[in-house]
Structure 1
Amino acid sequence: MLFTPIKPMLLQMGNNNEIIDSDEYIYDIKWDGWRILLHKEGDRVEAFTRHGNNVTAKFPELQEVGRSIQSHTAIIDCEGVVLRNGVSVFDDFAFRGRLSNTSKIQQATLTHPATFIAFDVLATDKTHTNKRLVERKEILSSIIEPSSNLLVTPSIGGNGSNIFQLTKDRGMEGIVGKRINSTYKTNHRSHDWLKYKHFKIADFVILGYKENPFTVLVGKRLSSGKYKPLANVEFGFKPEEKTAFREIAKQIVTKVERDMTWLEPILCCKVQYLEKTNTGSLRIVSFKGFNFDNVPETIN
C-alpha cells in the first residue's frame, strides 16, 4: 500500500437545497486544486494524484511537508492547492502540475507556493480505513503539526448550511458533507460523502458545435468585434433540445472544418459553470437552456 498508487474514495454530488444539518455529518471546506495522496516513511515523502501519477518531483515543498507529519509512517488524503488570501486558486496549482523543468519548479515554489490540505488518513503504522471518519479525523489532527505547506482542513459538525453560505461569501468552491461513521473505501464513489458547489449561470453566444459527442462551443464578443471561445459544453442537453438546435443551426452555418460546424454568432444559451480561469475560460460547465431574447455582453 505504501508508495504505490491508491485510487481514493470519491464523492457524490449533493443537492444545494438539501444540505443536511445533522450531528451525523461533518462538513469540510471543499478546496479547489488536485486530489493528492501523500505517502511518508521516515524522511521519504512522495505524492500521487488520484489517477496514480507520481508528482513528487514537481513539489520540493514535500520536504517541509514530511517534517510536519509527526508519524514515521503515514498515508494522508489531501488537496494540493495554491492559496491566495486564504482561497485556493485552481489555475495556480494546475500551473505547478504542468512544470517539469527543475529551475522553473524551484522558482514556482516562490511565486506559486503549494500547500497540501489534509482531510483524511488511510494509515500510519497500521491501516485506518475501517475506522469511523470521526476517529480518523482525530488521528489526522494528532499526527500533523501545521505549517505553511501542510494544514488540516477545518471541520464543522452538523451545521452545513452556515458553512456553505460562508464559503460562498468568501468566493470558495463549496463544502463536503461526510457521515461521521463512514469508513474509507478506496476506489469507490460513496453517498456517504457529498459535495456541494457554488455554481454560477450566465448567457453566452454559441459559436459552433460538433457531434460524437454532441458539444456546443460557447463564447463572448470582444471589444474588437471578434469572438472568444470560452468553453465546450457537452452535458445538460435534452434530446429534444438537440433536435431543435440542429434545425436552427443548419440555417446559420458559416463553415465546416473537420468535425466543427461554425455558426453565425446570433444564438445564445445559458451555461452553468463553477468558475472562470485567469484567461476567462469556464470550468465545469453544463447547458441550462437556450436564451432567444438576449445578446450576451461584450468582454474586453
Structure 2
Amino acid sequence: MLFSPIKPMIVSIGKEAFDDNEFIFEPKWDGWRILLHKQGTRLEAYTRNGNIVTSKFPELKEAVSSIKADTAILDCEGVCIRDGRSVFDDFSYRGRISDSAKIKAALRTHPATFVAFDVLLTSSEHLKEPLMSRKSRLNEIINSTDIITPTAFIEGRGKDLSSWSIEHDMEGIVAKRKDSKYVLGVETKDWLKIKNFKTIDTMILGYRTEPQFGLVLGLHFKTVRYKPVGIVEFGFRVDDKRAFLEIAKQIQTRIDKKTYWIEPKLCCRIQYLERTDQHQLRTTIFKGFLFDKDPENCYWTY
C-alpha cells in the first residue's frame, strides 16, 4: 500500500445538517483530495486518481519533520487559504502548473496547506480501527504547522458546525460515524458530505423550452468571457417565464438544436450546490431576474 496508488474512501451525499452523538462533524474543505505517503525522509503526494504530484508542492519537504511517525499514509485535503477560507481555484492552479519558476513563485502567491483528516497506516494498517481511534493516532503523529495540520471536528453538533460554515462561506460540513472503518475505494453512508447552497449573479446567454424551460447561464472569467456555466430549470414562476420570453424574442440571435441564443443583456440570480472543475454549476435554483444589473459585472467570484 505504501508508495503505490490507492483509492480513498468515498463520501456519500447528505441532504441537510443534523445532530447525532454517534457522529463527528468536520468542516468541508474546498480543494483536492491528497494522500500523503511517508517513510523516513521520503514524502510523496498522490491524488485520488493515483497521480503523483509531489514536485508541484515543494513545501512538502518541510512537512516531513512535522509527521512524527517514521511511516505513514495520511488522507488529506490539499487547500489554499484566502481570507480565512479555502479557495478551490487557487489549489487547482497549483496542481496545474509544472514550470519550475511558476511553482517557486506560487509558494508565495498560492501557499498550500494539507489538512489531514485520517490515517491509514503507520507501522501497521489502521483501516479496520474505528474512526475515533484513527483520529487519536492522527493527532499524536502530526505537529501542526501552516503546511500540514489535522482538521478540527466537533462531536454530535452538526447543525452548529453547519451554521458556522455558512457564516464563514465554507463549502459545507462532513458527518462521520464515530465507529466507521476505512474502506478503500468504497462509497459509504458512514461518511456524508452536506454542502451549502451558494448564490451567484449570472448573465443569460440563451434558453430552452424542451424538454422543459431552462436558462443557459454565463459568467466572465479572468481568461475567458461569456463562458456557459450551466442550466437552471427550477424555481421559476409562470410570470417569470412569460416576462422573460417576451423580452428574449426581441434579442434572439440564433437557434442551435434546442437552444435559443440571445444577446447577453439580461442577468439573473441563482443558487447552486456544487460546481465541477470546469466551473459548471450543478443543482441550480432560479431566484430572480436582475433587470438593473450590468452583464459586464457577472464574473466568477474567485
Please report the TM-score for the alignment, with normalisation by the length of structure 1: 0.80
- Helix, strand or coil: the match of 1:285? strand
- Helix, strand or coil: the match of 1:181? coil
1:295 to 286, 291, 294: 291
Q: Is contact 2:218-2:229 (8 Å) kept?
A: no
Give the equivalent residue in structure 1 for 2:253.
254
Give the equivalent residue in structure 2 for 1:218.
217
Q: Is contact 1:31-1:81 (8 Å) kept?
A: yes
Q: Report how far residue 154 of structure 1 moved.
A: 0.5
C-alpha distance 84-203 of structure 1, shift in aligned 2 (>3 A): closer
Q: Is contact 1:270-1:287 (8 Å) kept?
A: no
> For 1:268 and 1:158, how far apart are their aligned partners in 2?
41
> For 2:264 and 2:176, how far apart are their aligned partners in 1?
44
Structure 2: give runs of 5+ residues left out of the alignment: 298-302
Task: Give the counterpart letter for 2:92 in structure 1.
Answer: A
Give the equivalent residue in structure 1 for 2:10.
10
Write out aligned runs for 1:72-221 (5 A): 72-201=70-199, 204-208=202-206, 217-219=216-218
Q: What is the alpha-carbon root mean square deviation over aligned residues?
A: 3.5
What are the Cα deviations for residues 130-172 of structure 1, in whole angstroms up to 9, with x where unaligned?
A: 1111111011111111111000001100011111111211222
> For 1:131 and 1:177, how far apart are their aligned partners in 2?
18
> For 1:216 and 1:65, how far apart are their aligned partners in 2?
47
C-alpha distance 192-261 of structure 1, shift in aligned 2 (>3 A): same
Q: Is contact 1:15-1:196 (8 Å) kept?
A: yes
C-alpha distance 256-4 of structure 1, shift in aligned 2 (>3 A): farther
What are the Cα deviations for residues 160-201 of structure 1, in whole angstroms up to 9, with x where unaligned?
A: 111111121122221111000111111111111111222124
Give the equivalent residue in structure 2 for 1:233.
230
> For 1:202 and 1:170, how far apart are their aligned partners in 2?
16
Q: Report how far residue 220 of structure 1 moved.
A: 6.4
Task: Give the counterpart letter for 2:150 in structure 1.
Answer: V
Q: Is contact 1:120-1:140 (8 Å) kept?
A: yes
- Helix, strand or coil: the match of 2:11? strand
> For 2:25 and 2:54, how far apart are their aligned partners in 1?
29
Q: Report how far residue 4 of structure 1 moved.
A: 1.2
Task: Give the counterpart letter for 1:128 in structure 2.
Answer: H
Q: Report how far residue 83 of structure 1 moved.
A: 1.3
- The alignment status of 1:271 with 2:270, answered yes or no, reads yes
Q: Report how far residue 52 of structure 1 moved.
A: 1.4
> For 1:236 and 1:6, how far apart are their aligned partners in 2?
38
The number of aligned residues is: 281
C-alpha distance 57-270 of structure 1, shift in aligned 2 (>3 A): same
> For 2:15 and 2:234, how far apart are their aligned partners in 1?
19
Task: Give the counterpart letter for 1:122 in structure 2.
Answer: L
> For 2:286 and 2:27, how far apart are their aligned partners in 1?
30
Structure 1: give runs of 5+ residues left out of the alignment: 222-227
What are the Cα deviations for residues 92-114 of structure 1, in whole angstroms up to 9, with x where unaligned?
A: 11111111001110111111111
C-alpha distance 59-216 of structure 1, shift in aligned 2 (>3 A): farther
> For 1:175 and 1:290, how far apart are their aligned partners in 2?
24
Q: Report how far residue 274 of structure 1 moved.
A: 5.0
> For 1:133 and 1:262, how far apart are their aligned partners in 2?
51
Task: Give the counterpart letter for 1:90 in structure 2.
Answer: F
Please report the TM-score for the alignment, with normalisation by the length of structure 2: 0.80
> For 2:264 and 2:108, how far apart are their aligned partners in 1?
43
Q: Is contact 1:274-1:283 (8 Å) kept?
A: no
Give the equivalent residue in structure 2 for 1:224.
none
Q: Report how far residue 255 of structure 1 moved.
A: 2.4
